[in-house]
């Protein structure tokens, strides 16, 4: 089944609003109105408004790096879906390994966020993946299964068209290490099988599964040629317009 490739840039805690607007403008000028690949950039909260303006009129879409599963209230330091929608954010990264590790986010809390984002018309990018210790203990597939199914509790088949899954082997993030295409496909294939089992092939085969472990222009084509790798959640390479757009170009060339 043909799935539209998806390249998302996670800027993490990088780029001021001014720097972010400049980078976004560069990306938007290269991508222009070409929507053959879904392109999403996820800046810091303070840069969202400037970046939103910078990409207006292009095919580039805006995403956020987090949200809180409440409409408003006494949640110091948090941000609601309504606030994200007002700056035209269409996507949100949820369950990123850094949120799980540094902020103690559990599968249950990530699940709350996934459901709330869907209820509020923001498309979640659900991140799952194993640590180096878990991989060396041969626990990869079990960890991925627990995080995937835990994150999708209560999510209906009819909502899955709005969900993107990102597999991020934690040991490959920011380390320069990368899973071989064969290793990555093995996990992506198991994720696809779990989705098919839970929702049926008609739904599971349509869900995009991104690779989030140090995808770069040098390894993108081989990764994207794998059967169940539908794009990338990009970290370091997303902070440079040329390298990021090289990944978009690789996705356009992919079979």
164, 229 Cβ separation under 8 angstroms: no
- Strands 209-211 and 164-167, by their bridges, are parallel
Q: Which CATH number fits domain 6-20+30-253: 1.10.10.10, 3.40.1190.20, 3.20.20.70, 3.40.50.720?
A: 3.20.20.70
Average pLDDT, the chain: 96
Residue 192, pLDDT above cutoff 90: yes
Q: What is the pLDDT confidence band of residue 35, given thresholds at 50, 70 and 90?
A: very high
The confidence band for 212, taking pLDDT boundaries of 50, 70 and 90, is very high
- pLDDT for position 72: 98
Extents of the domains making up the chain: 6-20+30-253
Question: From the candidates 96, 98, 105, 188, which is the catalytic residue?
Answer: 96
Residue 83 has pLDDT above 80, yes or no: yes
- pTM score: 0.97
The position carrying tokens 């380390």 is 175
Active-site option among 105, 112, 130, 168: 168
**pLDDT at 1 > cutoff 70:** no
The beta strand positions in 24-88, using DSSP E, are: 38-42, 61-64
Distance from C-alpha of 243 to C-alpha of 9, rounded to nearest angstrom: 11
DSSP secondary structure letter of residue 12: -
Residue 213's pLDDT is what? Answer: 87
Say whether pLDDT at 136 is over 70: yes
**Active site (annotated) includes residue 96:** yes
Query: What are the φ and ψ backbone dihedral angles of 174, each rounded to 5 degrees?
Result: 70, 10
Phi and psi at residue 127, to the nearest 5°: -95, 135
Question: Hey, CA dihedral for 63, 150, 13, 172, is it positive or negative?
Answer: negative
Neighbour tally for 115: CB within 10 Å: 19
Band (pLDDT 50/70/90 cuts) for residue 161 is very high
Are 212 and 232 within 8 A, CB to CB? yes
* pLDDT, mean of residues 88-96: 99
Q: Where are the beta strands (DSSP E) in 151-201?
A: 164-167
Residue 168 a catalytic site member = yes
Q: Using CA atoms, how far apart are residues 196 and 132, in angstroms rounded to an integer? A: 27
Of 172, 198, 197, 175, nearest in space to 184 by CA = 172
By CB atoms closer than 10 A (0-12, 13-18, 19+), residue 26 is middle
Residue range 169-185: mean pLDDT, rounded: 85
Residue 210 in tokens: 């991104």
């Amino acid at each position: 089944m043909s799935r539209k490739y998806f390249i998302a840039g996670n800027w993490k805690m990088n780029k001021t609003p001014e720097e972010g607007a400049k980078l976004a403008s560069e990306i938007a000028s290269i991508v222009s109105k070409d929507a053959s690949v879904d392109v999403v950039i996820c800046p810091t909260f303070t840069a969202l408004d400037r970046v939103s303006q910078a990409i207006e009129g292009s095919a580039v879409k805006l995403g956020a790096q987090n949200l809180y599963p409440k409409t408003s209230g006494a949640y110091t330091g948090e941000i609601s879906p309504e606030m994200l929608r007002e700056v035209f954010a269409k996507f949100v990264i949820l369950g990123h390994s850094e949120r799980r590790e540094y902020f103690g986010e559990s599968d249950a809390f990530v699940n709350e966020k996934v459901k709330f984002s869907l209820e509020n018309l923001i498309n979640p990018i659900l991140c799952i993946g194993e640590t180096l210790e878990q991989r060396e203990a041969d626990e990869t597939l079990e960890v991925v299964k627990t995080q995937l199914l835990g994150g999708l509790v209560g999510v209906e088949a009819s909502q899955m068209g709005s969900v993107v899954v990102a597999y991020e082997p934690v040991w490959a993030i920011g380390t320069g290490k990368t899973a071989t295409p064969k290793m990555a496909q093995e996990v992506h294939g198991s994720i696809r099988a779990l989705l098919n089992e839970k929702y049926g092939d008609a739904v599971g085969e349509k869900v995009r599964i991104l690779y989030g472990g140090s995808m770069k222009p040098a390894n993108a084509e081989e990764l994207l040629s794998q059967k169940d790798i539908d794009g990338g959640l990009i970290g370091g390479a997303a902070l440079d317009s040329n390298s990021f757009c090289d990944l978009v170009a690789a996705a356009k060339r992919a079979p």
